Structure formats: C-alpha cells, structure tokens
Structure 1
Amino acid sequence: MTNQPSIDVTAFIDRQRVSRFQAAIIVLCFLIVAIDGFDTAAIGFIAPVIRTHWQLAPSQLGSVFGAGLAGLMAGALLFGPFGDRIGRKRLLLWCVSGFGIASVASAFSPSLSWLIALRFLTGLGLGGAMPNAITLTSEYCPASRRSFLVTTMFCGFTIGSALGGFVAAALIEEFGWRSVLLAGGVAPLVLVPVLVWRLPESVRYLVTQGGARDRIAATLARIAPEPMLATATFATFATPNGAASGSPVARLFRPDLLRGTLLLWLAFFMSLLVIYLLSSWLPTLLRGTGASLRTAALVTAMFQVGGTLGAIVLGWLMDRFNPHYVLALSYAAAGVFVAAIGSLAASPWLAALAVFAAGFCVSGSQVGANALSAAFYPTDCRATGVSWANGIGRMGSVVGSLAGGAMLTMGLTLSALFFVVGVPAVIAGLSMAVLGWHRAKRASSMQAAGLAGP
C-alpha cells in the first residue's frame, strides 16, 4: 500500500464536535467518580452508628477514616503507573471491581480491625480509579472543550457525595449501617459489565503502544466516520527523545516536566489540605459559635454546592482564558473567602455565603487542577502524572484532617484560625501562577527556536 494518509489522532479528536460516543465515555467516567464520592461521604454518615454499635472511642473511629484516606493515597501512587503500562480501561476495570468487592466485604466486618483493613482496600481501588477516569475522559475530549468536559465529569464526585448522605439517611434507619456499605459495593459491581461493554481503551494510548491499526480506525470512526480512516496510518503528537524510556514515574522528572510536576504537587497538596480541613472540622467549628446541629450541617453543605458550581464555571473559563491564571485567581480568592468565614460565623446566612464562595473557589479549582494536570502530561505518562498529583494531594488531606484538631487545642480565635486555613489556598494560587508563567516562557523560547513544544 502506497501513499497512505497519516492521521494524528490527537489533532483528529481536537477538530471534531463531541459525538455521542464521546458523551457516553464522559457519562461512564462520571458514574465511576460518583460512586467514589458516594463511598467517601457515606462513611462519615455511618460513623456515629458504628461508634455506638461497637462502643468506640473517638481515636478508634478516626482509624476508620484514616484507613480510607491512606488507601486513597496509596492507590493513587501505586496504580497510576499501571494505567500507563496496561491501559486506562483495564486498570479502571480492576480498580472498580476491587473497591466494589472490598466494600461488600466491609459490610460484613465482624470487628473494627476487619473494617479498618477493608476500608484501606476499598480506598486502594478508589484511589486508582479516579485519576484514570480523569485521564481517559481528557484523552477523548477535544482541546477546545476539554477543561469544561473534564470538570463537568468530575462533578460526579460531589453529586455522589450528596447522594451518599440521602441514601445513608434512608438505609440506616430501615436496614442498619451495613446496608450503606453493601449499596456502595453493589453499585460498582453492577457498573463493571457496562464498562466492559461500552468503555473503550484510550485511542492515544493504543497509538503509543503500537495497537492494531484496525482497532484504532474503528474507534476513531465512532467519533467521526471519515473515509480516509480505512487506509490511514496513525500517530500522536511527537514526544521528546527518550520520553518513553524508564518507568512512568521517572518520566515525571524529565527536564521538560520537572518544574511543572513539583508546582502541580504543591498546588494539589495545599488545595486538598484546605478542602479536607474544612470538610472535617467546619461543622464542629460552627457548633462552637452556638449554631444548632441542623444549621451547622446546612452551612457546611454549601461548601459542596459551591464546589459543584465552581467546577463547571471554572472549567468553562479555563477553555477561554489561560487556565493557569484562571486557577491562580480562583485559589487566591478562596483564601480571602476562607479567612472571611471566621469573621462571619456568628451570622448563619453570611457564613453560608462565605462557605459557598470558598467551596466555589477552592473545590472548583481542585477539579480544574485535575483537568489541567491531564492536559499538562504527555500520553506516555499522563495517568501516572494525574495519579501522583492526586496521591501527593491526599497527603495534604491527611495533614488537613489532623491540623484542625491541632489548631483547636492551641486556643486560636475563630478569626485567626480561618485566616491560617486560608493561607494554603493562596500558596496553591501562587504555584499555578508560576506554572503558567513558566510554561508561557518555555513555549515562547521554543517558538523562537522553531521547535514544537507541549
């Protein structure tokens, strides 16, 4: 065969409208992260019942939370590289099946020790699934709408979290706390056959791995059935010399990626520190002002509501303006709104507005940062890059969960406490601004040298 057209699959996807095939991928990944959100939130709702059931001390109950967070961190760090080695779809199937089985098993835990161990295993699967869902979605979205579509997909997490509260409230009263874990395990196991049937492998991954030409052509034809696909050869954006050598983790530290990797890690660590500190301690802090349990719960819920709306709005803005500076400004604003909560806590309505705005900026920015990290890394280490950024961020979530209690024991005033909590958000914004400046400078230098760059 002579004169075969060569198609760059990345450019092919970028110039197409979003097809029903791509929309189905986004929906399936939305369901994966929604189940993740459900599980993350549900354990908080059943914790008081577990404490009563087994007569647990607060420190023992904390071990249940800590096991899940440790599993999420380990899953992100361990399973990310496998997504770049064996494919996004295969790893997603393993992770979704794994956390489904572990959650079902945890529903039958005979003791606290068993529950802690199974919560860790559940976290492992959840930690590996989320970054690969982000990666797969990103690789099927056209560049002009990628940030908006990825952040919209990731809203499944906050929606799943909200659903976890409603389902837990309904099931615990009728069937007990074990039924919530059972529901959280059955849902992913029911989803697995659908993923096997309808979820494709990343076409960019197939090209980099030398996948079968007919399989690549058939996948692209489901996006846009162009006649040339039948005889074309396929490629993707060129990667730097040596990019595919070494482990996927080592590739994150290539000279062209090192600075960006460290700045993304700093942003993720600081961002998730703030998010988990507020999620864990805000109800307790509000109760300390004399607010009722109901008022504290409603005000805290505005954080997730703001985060969902923020993810969609910021994703839309990131597709129209420099995404680094959009996130930098949003994180900086989050620092201001978080600091304001302390001064407004005595007024529930004003506190709710400040919490909503803080969620809009910091949670919305964290979702946007996931989309940005997926766009930053090349195909050969994208799943690893997104997973490790999330894994480092999970370390921040552990620090945030512990820091709230530490600051309370220090006797800080509410205003001083929330001011301190706002500082990491500003640091995250600065890291995004520096990353944007660095990438713009590097792109300008490469353009002047007549080279193509990421």
Structure 2
Amino acid sequence: MSQPHLDISENPQLEKRTAGFVAFIIFTALLFDGYDLVIYGVALPTLLQDPTQIGPLDPAMAGLVGSYALIGVLLGSLLCGAIGDFFGRRRLLIAGVAWFSIGMFITALTQTVFAFGAMRFVTGVGLGIVIATAGATMAEFAPGGRRQFYNGIVYSGVPAGGVFAALMGIAFLTDISWRGLFMIGALPLVLLVPLMLWKLPESPRWLLARGRREQAEAVSRRTGIPLLEEQVIQKVGAAPRRTGYAAVFSKQFALASLLLGTLSFCGLLLTYGLNTWLAVIMNGYGHDISPLYFVVVLNASALVGGLLASRLADRTGPQRMIATTFALAALALILMTFSFPLPLLFTFIGVAGVGTIGTQVLVYGFQSNYYTTNARAAGVAFCASMGRFGGIFGPIIGGWLAAAGFGGPQAFYVFAGVALVGAVVTLLVPHQRKLDEAEHEVEEMALHHRPDEHPTPSPQG
C-alpha cells in the first residue's frame, strides 16, 4: 500500500500569526491560573488573623485548605487525560476556563472554612483541565525549533499571574478585601471565553491523528500550521498505536512518564509551597517592608528567567537546562536561611524563583513536546496529576513545620532537598530516538524541498 502524499507546503507568516494568537489565549488563561495560585497566599494572613472572615483558621488547617484546590486540579488533570486525546484541545480549554472563572466568583461569596475549601476544590477541577490542555495545545501550534520558547511564553503566564496577584494584594486588599480579589479571578468568563469561542481553532495535528484528514488539511490551510511532521511520525511508526493513557503507559513512554511525572511533583511542590508560605515566613524575619514584595520578586524573576531559560532550552536541550535551574534553586534556598542584607536576600529569592517556578515552566514544555499527538494530552495530564500531589504536599509541609514551631530555615532546607532530587531525575529521562529520527527526516525533507515538486494546494483543494 502506498504512503499518502506528504504535504510539505508552508506559510510561515500565517503559521507565526496563528501560533502567536494561540499563545496569547493560553498565556492569559494560565495567568489567571497563577493568579489563583498566589491569591490564596495573599489572603492567608487576613484569614489567619480575622476569624470573622470565614471562621477560625490555624496554620495546619490553612495548609490543608491550600491543598484543596490542588486536589481539584489533580482530578481535573486526570479527567482531561482520560478524554483529551479523544475530544480535542479547543473544547476542553474553553470549558476549563469557564469552569474555574465561575468557581473563583462563588469562592468570593463563601462564609465558612468548609464552603471556602469546597469551592477551592471545585475551582481546582477547572484549573486542572486548563493546565493539562494548555501544553498539548501549544505544542501542536508552535513552530518547529521554537517549541520550548513558545511553551515558555504560555506557561510564564503562571508566574505572571503570581505577580499580578501580589500587586493586586498590595494595592487593593484593604479596599476591596480578599473577596474582591477573588472576584477579579472570574474575569476570564466575560473577557476570554467569548474570544476563544469566536477565534480559537482546533489543532490540525490532533485532527490528523484522529483520522480526520480533510478537516485537518482545511484547518492547516486556514491557520498555516503544517502537517508534515505529524505525517512523518505516522509514516515511520514513531507513535504508539494506542491513544490516551494506553499510549502513555506503552513500552515507548512508560518509564519516561514516571520520571517526567516526578519532575512535576518536585516542581509543583516547590511552586505551591513557596507561594503559599513565603509571605508568612518572611514576615517572621522582621523586615520593615511588606512580605508580599518577596512574593513579587519570586514570581517576577521566574517570569523573566523562565522565558530566557526556555529560549536557551531550544538550543541546548531542555534536560540540561532543567537540571541546571533545579540545582541553582537548591543553592539559593540554602543561602536564604542566612542573615544577608536585604538586597542580597532579594537576589537569592529571585534565583530561587527562576529555579522553582521558572523550572516548572521548562518542565511543562519538556513534557508537552516529549509525547506524540495521540498521547500528548494524556501524557501531559498524567505528569500534571503527579505534579499536583507535589503541589498538595507543598502547602501542607509548610503548615506542618509552622504548627511544630519550626521557622523558615527548616522549610527552605526541605525545599532545597526537593530541588536536588528534581535535578537528578531530569538527567535520567530517556531520549525518544524514534521521534528524533522523525524530526530529522522532516528537517531533511524541508531542506531539499523544491517548491515546484509539490505545489501548494489551493484553498479549494
């Protein structure tokens, strides 16, 4: 049986515009994910000090409540992994954004610790759907050779949201209270969802992987997203025959999935642990500034550093860069336990932000591009789900240490140990030789392609 014709026609400018629009949509969605992550830490001092808000709340219970959203994210990610490679990227992304927006609005209206925690869980389900779908979507729209950078752009929305939340807390917490800050998190329902319904395309690579060739080619012509790589992957047999979780746990991906999931566990334990407890820990150090400024530095450094590291990862490979940033985080966290002058302390917090939250940006990109299209949503969802276990433990560990009377140094030592584990595990992830061969063949075909050999098809087909 002859192989189907490989369409290697390209429209780089249209592809770039489409990728930029998709990146903007996903970045904005993940910005509000980061906002949700940090806004609980912003509200936490008020909730701990004032029992009239949602009732009495001690540090141990605060750690548990902080983890409820992450349990919801875990469930949402698992759900997305089960259906994402069957139902497509677009529908799940829109549903997830609408879900968490409504959840944050209702959370702002709660009056008890139980109701607050329950709505944090419900909101987390929508956030999990978005997180698990975002990487898979961007990986299928990003131009070849710049995929780590594009994933860095969209996932930098998480620390950008953290900066946004901290700044909103500094500027408006006393004026609109924590309830008003949570209502800001509902804005995507009225600002982003209508735009997604109107303009966000389905992934043509996903359509082709599902056997919907005519639709895939139509979307490819409309968006400029080439199908060559997906066709070559199918041609050379670089993808497992199964789809979804069955592909993720196939011989080709099983070991790598466990290791990649461990990376997310380490990265999100550090991300959620530091964002939940950094303001509280630094408040105990007695510095004469708002502890929220430390949260701003942590996330702003992650935003800038994560983008720079993502650009370098496209050149050097993501594994080397991730191992390096994890190691830098461990060193910075240990140095944060000493009594350095404030400017030097801000520097170490900035490095820690790059090595924790910024590293998780790299990890998301690594995972999203590691899997083939028929396993991508499930693979990213599985890794995100394992990561959420780390995210759940992060706030809890901080709460346990605080309840036991330990201070910031002990928490920073624990977090530094987690970062070192992440650095070691990164280097153990095996290379995907079949995918490397497919990418090399695509590069060779593009290099030797003559426009007159395979003319660009007209929009009429």
TM over 0.5: yes
Is the contact made by 1:342 and 1:417 (CA closer than 8 Å) also made in structure 2?
A: no
Q: Which amino acid aligns with 2:400?
A: A
Please tell me whether residue 159 in structure 1 is matched to residue 151 in structure 2.
no
Q: Alignment RMSD, CA only?
A: 3.2
Count residues in correspondence: 433
- Partner residue of 1:254? 250
Please tell me whether residue 32 in structure 1 is matched to residue 29 in structure 2.
yes
- Partner residue of 1:321? 316
> Cα distance 1:352–1:120, how it changes in 2: closer, same or farther (>3 A)?
same
* Alpha-carbon shift at residue 196 of structure 1 (Å): 0.9
* Alpha-carbon shift at residue 371 of structure 1 (Å): 0.4
Q: Which amino acid aligns with 1:206?
A: L
Counterpart Cα distance in 1 of 2:100 and 2:403: 36
Cα distance per residue 1:414-437 (max 9 Å; x no partner): 6565334212111111111121xx
Written as runs of structure 1 = structure 2, the 5 A alignment for 1:163-202 is 163-170=164-171, 172-202=173-203
Q: Which amino acid aligns with 2:396?
A: L
- Partner residue of 1:341? 336
* Alpha-carbon shift at residue 46 of structure 1 (Å): 3.2
Cα distance per residue 1:193-239 (max 9 Å; x no partner): 110111111111100112251x323322234499xx9xx9x835227
Please tell me whether residue 98 in structure 1 is matched to residue 99 in structure 2.
yes
SS at match of 2:146: helix
* Alpha-carbon shift at residue 157 of structure 1 (Å): 1.7
Q: TM-score, normalised by structure 2?
A: 0.84
- The answer to which of 101-110 and 373-382 deviates more is 101-110
Cα distance per residue 1:362-381 (max 9 Å; x no partner): 22211011001011011011
- The answer to which of 348-357 and 17-26 deviates more is 17-26
Cα distance per residue 1:301-328 (max 9 Å; x no partner): 2211211112111111111112211211
> Cα distance 1:359–1:241, how it changes in 2: closer, same or farther (>3 A)?
closer
Is the contact made by 2:55 and 2:113 (CA closer than 8 Å) also made in structure 1?
A: no
* Alpha-carbon shift at residue 40 of structure 1 (Å): 2.2
> Cα distance 1:139–1:300, how it changes in 2: closer, same or farther (>3 A)?
same
Counterpart Cα distance in 1 of 2:314 and 2:137: 18
Counterpart Cα distance in 1 of 2:201 and 2:327: 38
- Partner residue of 2:451? none
SS at match of 1:33: helix
- Partner residue of 2:283? 287
- Partner residue of 2:306? 311
SS at match of 1:397: helix
Counterpart Cα distance in 2 of 1:195 and 1:400: 33
* Alpha-carbon shift at residue 92 of structure 1 (Å): 1.0
Please tell me whether residue 432 in structure 1 is matched to residue 432 in structure 2.
no
Written as runs of structure 1 = structure 2, the 5 A alignment for 1:346-425 is 346-408=340-402, 418-425=412-419
Unaligned runs of 5+ in 1: none
> What percentage of aligned pairs have identical amino acids?
25
Counterpart Cα distance in 2 of 1:266 and 1:122: 24
Written as runs of structure 1 = structure 2, the 5 A alignment for 1:222-261 is 222-224=222-224, 235=231, 237-238=233-234, 240=237, 243-245=240-242, 248-261=244-257
Please tell me whether residue 217 in structure 1 is matched to residue 217 in structure 2.
yes
- Partner residue of 1:298? 293
SS at match of 2:7: strand
Cα distance per residue 1:67-122 (max 9 Å; x no partner): 21211122112222221110010111111121222222333335443332222111
SS at match of 2:163: helix
Is the contact made by 2:298 and 2:350 (CA closer than 8 Å) also made in structure 1?
A: yes
> Cα distance 1:183–1:400, how it changes in 2: closer, same or farther (>3 A)?
closer
Is the contact made by 2:30 and 2:131 (CA closer than 8 Å) also made in structure 1?
A: yes
Q: TM-score, normalised by structure 1?
A: 0.85
Cα distance per residue 1:241-298 (max 9 Å; x no partner): 99243x612321111111111111111111222222222233333333332352x332
SS at match of 1:144: coil
Counterpart Cα distance in 2 of 1:243 and 1:443: 11
Counterpart Cα distance in 2 of 1:106 and 1:288: 29
Q: Which amino acid aligns with 2:94?
A: L
**Higher RCO (Cα < 8 Å, 6 or more apart):** 2
Q: Which amino acid aligns with 1:292?
A: D
Is the contact made by 2:78 and 2:381 (CA closer than 8 Å) also made in structure 1?
A: yes
- Partner residue of 2:16? 19
- Partner residue of 2:57? 57
Cα distance per residue 1:3-35 (max 9 Å; x no partner): 984326xx968x778521221111111111112
Is the contact made by 1:407 and 1:417 (CA closer than 8 Å) also made in structure 2?
A: yes
Q: Which amino acid aligns with 1:326?
A: M
Is the contact made by 1:300 and 1:352 (CA closer than 8 Å) also made in structure 2?
A: no
Is the contact made by 1:373 and 1:385 (CA closer than 8 Å) also made in structure 2?
A: yes
> Cα distance 1:122–1:385, how it changes in 2: closer, same or farther (>3 A)?
same
Cα distance per residue 1:25-62 (max 9 Å; x no partner): 11111111112122222233334445442342225544
* Alpha-carbon shift at residue 158 of structure 1 (Å): 1.6
- The answer to which of 144-153 and 180-189 deviates more is 180-189
Counterpart Cα distance in 2 of 1:445 and 1:198: 33
